[in-house]
Structure 1
Amino acid sequence: MSATATYDFIIIGAGSAGCVLARRLSAQSHRRVLLLEAGGRDVNPFIHMPAGLAQLVHNRRINWNYYTEPEPELENRRLYWPRGKVLGGCSSINAMCYVRGQPEDYDDWARDGAIGWGYDDVLPFFRKAEHQQHGASRYHGGSGPMWVENLRSRNPLTDTFVAAAVASGLPRNDDFNGERQEGAGYYQVTQRGGRRCSAATAYLRAARKRPNLTILTHALVERLLIDRRRVVGVDYRIGSRRYTAFCESEVLLSAGTVNSPQLLMLSGIGPADHLRSLGLDVILDQPSVGENLQDHLDICTLYKSTRPVTYDFNRLQELRVLFQYWLKKRGAGVSNIAEAGAFACSSSAARDRPDIQMHFVPAQLDDHGRNRLPGHGFTLHACHLHPRSRGRIGLRSNRPDEAPLIYANYLHDSRDMQVMLEALRFSRQILRSQAFDELRGEEILPGITDGSDTELTRFIRHKAETVYHPVGTCRMGGDSSAVVDATLRVRGISGLRVIDASIMPKIVSGNTNAPTIMIAEKAADLILTYG
């Protein structure tokens, strides 16, 4: 590898969006494409074993291991934010739930100025990406790279949850990505034959042998090279050696909601006063870079199980699970852990669309799985889908290798707490229903006999955590203050687009991986069709 090289496209970040872009753009053999990833290759076997995700939360080799700054409304706790640092990005470490959100999410984007991003505009790109186990239909694609399947094996407690949620008033829903989202049912997952189907597996494997695609791992991009407000290349580092790559067409920034605004600011694009305070030259004063941060705040309800049927395994049982998985791709090893879920409407905020999402886990899950509890139990996550609170990303220093500042500002808008309270109450109602009577032991979380708003609010402030869906820090829109326009070009800078979850004007109503892949599919089509 030479110290300098020239490409048509340089893609920064090999996460969910970057992998899509690399495959689609390199399909034209005359285009030279460079894909730069700060993490390493996806060789850890627990990445590919679905239930192995429990072993990845601690792994600093494949995880940025970010923390927020102290959150004022959450007892000044610093919340843990795992983000993928490996080929495939977060799609290599997530729970594989395939959820697109609501049609209204995208219609809201278009109504607010993101022309061409309404539901009818984006549905073809969801379908283009998807290889649905049940075949193509109005809502689903049957021949895309990203395989979407039913779980091969489920814990019996998962069936109990679905029955309990339906008995609690929710309709049964066999397809959260179909005609309607509301209801309870089983999550489909991004798996193929019992193995995780990450963006790297789905998109890069078929493309990595192309001679016009160069993939470099452990490559930390330090700054964009800008000449007269045009991005002409990047400086990056592998180990102690520094390199420069030049670009004749466009640099595509796909580093994610945290790192995309960080790199823009390190390169002189961002709030002028903030950049100058850190000794950075200001190329473009853009106050919106890093703003508009949104995330789904999550609260867990946890009960002990009276029967040892959960995934709370001892070491010997874990070895048996491993053996069964590697031999037959069956059993608990294929579980994504969050096997079923529900979408419900609160009375305080919802109009005609769900604003609460649930993930049921047939195991005890506390502090992102880092606090291992004795015995057996089951956990119900509940998050607020449409938070009004907004945060921001800032620079801690002018060093590219130093973690940025994350101010999530959870519950800054007091109306968000009202929905969280309803989500918690409904979670307890479901787990206390008759379907769980023979399995339900002691309530561990919240473990409060006084169910007053005061006590439950205190519990939420003490225990709520992220459910890993940060978006919005390079907002797309039709107004001049938006960071990118509807073609994802950075306003005021040529030769540069941002293509990842950071461009979402508003957070989608569910998990963010499938929408991020859709964004990259649509962006690749825009680039290849219109330039």
Structure 2
Amino acid sequence: MSVGWWTLFAAAFAAGFLFFHGFAATDTAPNYSFVHNATSAPTVSYYDYIVVGGGTAGCPLVATLSQKATVLLLERGGSPYGNPNITKMTRFGAALSDLSRSSPSQRFISEDGVINSRARVLGGGSCLNAGFYTRASTDFVKQAGWDGRLVNESYQWVEKLVAFEPPLGQWQSAVRDGLLEAGVLPFNGFTYDHIYGTKVGGTIFDQQGFRHTAADLLEYANPSGLTVLLHASVHKILFAVEGRKKPKARGVVFRDARGAKHKAYLKKGSKNEIIISAGALGSPQLLMLSGVGPAEHLKSHNIRLVLEQPRVGQGMSDNPMNAVFIPSPIPVEVSLIQVVGITRFGSYIEAAGGENFAGGASAPSMFSPEAITEAVEYRNNLQEAALRGGFIIEKVTGPISTGHLELRTRNPNDNPSVTFNYFKDSRDLQRCVQGIQTIEKIVESKPFSKFRYDFLSWPVLLNMTANAPLNLLPKHYNPSMPLEVYCKDTVMTIWHYHGGCQVGKVVDHDYKVLGVDSLRVIDGSTFSVSPGTNPQATVMMLGRYMGVKILRERVAN
């Protein structure tokens, strides 16, 4: 292959990859009478429940709790509704490209050198992801100790509003048939269930192409029982300590967009609680900022120790993702994640495609300003043919490799420092290798033949992808090297990071923080492994599930 072709396709990859992880939302904003800007909040207020974080877990949680209690939801971001960069599929990816302080996504770079982002918007990660909707496996549910019947009811509660069957085009169909020819069997058709083999999963995009998010689940809320404050940044949890065997959470301090300080307290009552649902980065960060965490680390930031909890921020994991860009000689329909191959060796195979990957007026946010400028110039000069094609990706399940999170500053709006230690465990690396080998079988399969150029061999496709600016790691790979090098050089995030407040280490099986009264953590930070192929369905389910359980306990007592 000539250098010209390599430059075109590498640039297309660099300019377009994150666009299939942009977001859209329902075009018409629901009339939520209970949603307000935090600037309108009183200086002091009182509630039965205070929930920090209006994300994938927080929204279904408060919608449920509001049925029988007064609830305050504090969300640091804004609304997902009304912004054309969010609501319109035609503006796909523009929100992730927005690096402003008001952006619904906040970029961070892990200490591993992998560029990532976290949600800063009502609805959380369900406003940023590729839309794939699939449940956790039955084994995951059993190991979590959850009530199977309530789990199913909670999934169904979510699915009534946000889950759909996707229309399958030619590209996704070719990937599906290629997976079957590659031996990822059996074919399980369309299903939300997590089953070995190849399936078509659900999506949170409706038939008109609008995204439905966890924020839509607030339609279930009791308006008289819920107050949602946007642009409300929680700085710390307040504890009652004196004369108590255990610290008791009693309130929070938050600031609005103008910097004004507000305090919200729990009403008197033994069942009233503060619940943190700030995500895998935000939840351990807030515990530390509030004095719950590793003593020496908190001391180094001059944070008064409330409870020494050395496990806070430990066990951080991010499922490593590796991709191969496949240029196509024919047009490819725009599609997000629809088909998945659930292998028995521990890798999930997914795909997304379409020439609109590199369309639009903005460049992805994963690069430095210089790299963005270069990518835009490349993209503007590309031939239309170079923008055809798509990506086949593999995600390592689990993963086994773990890292840790630490504070950088005492400002809750600053990103903490996080290390994921991708491929530290050799078993993760071998799963990646097997995943890449499976992608090769798909690309070389008969059903996929019309979507590949004959003169672009598999080694050339790998070399082309490996030399695109995917992360901040130095590049070593060339076609003579083993796939282990390819995996390490091209590792990216699939935004499924979790850990930091794990069950049995930071919280108990009811998600109550160990050693503290009236405080829980309910979100993906409590997971030791990421559920299913994509976690959003289970995180939304968990919010509903725990809301029901908490209300049952409240009524019983």
Q: TM-score, normalized by length of structure 2?
A: 0.78
Distance 2:179 2:413 in 1: 45
Q: Partner letter of residue 236 of structure 1?
A: F
Q: Which moved more, 1:364-373 or 1:285-294?
A: 364-373
Distance 1:101 1:227, change over 3 A: same
Contact 1:363/1:379 (<8 A) preserved: no
CA deviations on 1:428-475 (whole Å, 9 max, x unpaired) are 111111122232023564137999794322222111101110112111
CA deviations on 1:466-506 (whole Å, 9 max, x unpaired) are 111011211112xxxx1111111111111111011111133
Match 1:56 to one of 92, 95, 99: 95
Counterpart for residue 408 of structure 1: 420
The aligned runs of 1:125-524 (5 Å cut-off) are: 125-131=154-160, 146-151=161-166, 153-170=167-184, 171-178=186-193, 181-194=195-208, 195-201=210-216, 203-207=217-221, 210-228=223-241, 229-239=247-257, 240-248=259-267, 249-311=272-334, 335=335, 337-346=336-345, 355-363=346-354, 374=382, 375=386, 376-441=388-453, 442=456, 445-447=461-463, 454-477=481-504, 482-524=505-547
Distance 1:282 1:369, change over 3 A: closer
Aligned residues between the structures: 462
Taking only the aligned residue pairs, the percentage that are identical comes to: 27
CA deviations on 1:303-332 (whole Å, 9 max, x unpaired) are 210113344xxxxxxxxxxxxxxxxxxxxx
Q: TM-score, normalized by length of structure 1?
A: 0.82
**Deviation of 1:89 (Å):** 0.6
Counterpart for residue 126 of structure 2: 91
Q: Partner letter of residue 172 of structure 1?
A: F
Answer yes or no: is 1:45 the counterpart of 2:84. yes
Counterpart for residue 316 of structure 1: none
**Deviation of 1:52 (Å):** 4.6
Distance 1:81 1:421 in 2: 22
Q: Partner letter of residue 77 of structure 2?
A: G
Match 1:100 to one of 135, 153, 159: 135
Distance 1:289 1:6 in 2: 28
Contact 1:392/1:408 (<8 A) preserved: yes
Distance 1:59 1:460, change over 3 A: same
Distance 1:193 1:440, change over 3 A: closer
Counterpart for residue 67 of structure 1: 109
Distance 1:445 1:66, change over 3 A: farther
**Deviation of 1:293 (Å):** 1.2
CA deviations on 1:42-64 (whole Å, 9 max, x unpaired) are 12234334565422221241012
Distance 1:453 1:90, change over 3 A: farther
Distance 2:344 2:509 in 1: 31
Structure 1: 5+ residue stretches without partners? 72-77, 110-115, 132-145, 312-334, 347-354
Q: Partner letter of residue 124 of structure 2?
A: G
**Deviation of 1:424 (Å):** 0.6
**Deviation of 1:87 (Å):** 0.8
CA deviations on 1:321-353 (whole Å, 9 max, x unpaired) are xxxxxxxxxxxxxx4x2232211122xxxxxxx
**Deviation of 1:400 (Å):** 1.9
Distance 1:264 1:451 in 2: 44
**Deviation of 1:219 (Å):** 0.6
Q: Partner letter of residue 429 of structure 1?
A: K
Contact 1:231/1:496 (<8 A) preserved: yes
Q: Partner letter of residue 159 of structure 1?
A: S
Contact 1:294/1:470 (<8 A) preserved: yes
Structure 2: 5+ residue stretches without partners? 1-40, 242-246, 367-374, 467-476
Distance 1:409 1:2 in 2: 44
Q: Partner letter of residue 300 of structure 1?
A: A
Distance 1:99 1:271, change over 3 A: same
Match 1:3 to one of 32, 38, 43: 43
CA deviations on 1:215-267 (whole Å, 9 max, x unpaired) are 11111000001111111100001122111111121111000000000000000
Counterpart for residue 323 of structure 1: none
**Deviation of 1:6 (Å):** 0.8
Distance 1:46 1:58 in 2: 10
Contact 2:275/2:520 (<8 A) preserved: yes
Distance 2:175 2:319 in 1: 22
Give the 3-state SS of the residue equivalent to 2:323 in structure 1.
Answer: strand
Distance 1:341 1:206 in 2: 31
Give the 3-state SS of the residue equivalent to 1:484 in structure 2.
Answer: coil
Distance 2:487 2:548 in 1: 43
Distance 1:504 1:176 in 2: 24
Q: Which moved more, 1:435-444 or 1:410-419?
A: 435-444
Distance 1:385 1:369 in 2: 26
Distance 2:106 2:480 in 1: 36
Distance 2:480 2:400 in 1: 20
Contact 2:64/2:220 (<8 A) preserved: no
**Deviation of 1:129 (Å):** 2.7
